[in-house]
Amino acid sequence: MFSKPKLKNSILIEGLPGIGNVGKVVADFIIDELKAKKICQITSNTFPHSVFVNEDNLVELPKIELFYKKVNSTNLLVLGGDVQPIDEVSSYEFSEKILDLAERFGAKEIITLGGIGLPEIPKKPRVYCTGNSKKIIEKYKSNVVHDKLYGIVGPIVGVSGLLLGLASRRKVNAIALLAETYGHPMYLGIKGAREILKVLNDKLKLGIKVDKLEKEIKYIEKQILKRTEEMGNITSKDAIGKLKSGQTSYIG
């Protein structure tokens, strides 16, 4: 399935699964609220070797989708999906393909989204930014978006990081917006997603009603915390090891 709109000066937002699924929550919410149109669907044998069972009790291959919506004078592209590529080589190849698509649709700017994993649940998550140029950092940093990220996180792993680095080769400005969240594998970072959504809503004039997400926070957080306690022993040893040692980590 592919439909090619003729676009210029578009902005690509990437939000794929990662720590707290912060980026995915933001991307999915934007797609739903703006009623964005799907223009591209991607499946690959480099995605995890599994299928999902949908509400009709049928199986679906994992997929990543690209959506489009014009908001005021901004052509917005939003990349969301179920998974990320499973290894280093496929992650590089996938990121290059996404940049090819971004160029094809006239992207002048790329925004990647993600979470910073903390050993405890933050009461009010802070948002940080980093990018491939000082120009784009100056555009997005503010009193609520902090640009002093050095020493706070380690490498930005996955598509959220690679898109920044690879975009610089193509002379495309790219920035990552990262929100603090709890680093437990079973935790959903709704509060961090809300903070990033506020930033995007303000900077890009999306006109999204953020309070719609806010209304769901208490209920979702309660359910997730319950699931976290029940599933506490089924975790990633590496992730838990970092949390116990007090290290802050980020995975795209």
Would you call 122 exposed, middle or buried from its count of C-beta atoms within 10 A (0-12, 13-18, 19+)?
middle
pLDDT band at residue 228 using 50, 70 and 90 as cut-offs = very low
Give the pTM: 0.86
Give the model confidence (pLDDT) of 50-98 as tens digits.
888 888 999 999 999 999 999 988 999 999 999 999 899 999 999 999 9
What are the Cα distances from residue 117, in Å, to 8, 18, 200, 210, 244?
36, 10, 21, 23, 12
What kind and span of H or E run contains 189? Answer: none
pLDDT band at 43 (very low <50, low <70, confident <90, very high): very high
Stretch 31-36: mean pLDDT: 94
- Relative orientation angle of helices 88-104 and 159-169, to the nearest 10 degrees: 60
Question: In which band, very low, low, confident or very high, does the pLDDT at 187 lie, cut at 50, 70 and 90?
Answer: confident
- How many whole angstroms separate alpha carbon 23 and alpha carbon 172? 21
pLDDT score of 248: 53
What is the distance between the alpha carbons of residues 193 and 197, in angstroms, rounded to a whole number? 6
Q: What is the pLDDT of residue 152?
A: 82
CB 183 within 8 Å of CB 249? yes
Q: Domain ranges for the chain, please list them.
A: 10-250
Give me the pLDDT at residue 185, please.
83
- Tens digit of pLDDT for each residue in 101-117? 999 999 999 999 999 99
The end-to-end CA distance of the chain, in Å, is 27
Three-class DSSP category at 141: coil
Once rounded to an integer, what is the mean pLDDT over residues 18-36? 93
Q: CATH class for domain 10-250?
A: alpha beta
- CA atoms in the 13 A half-sphere facing the CB of 180: 16
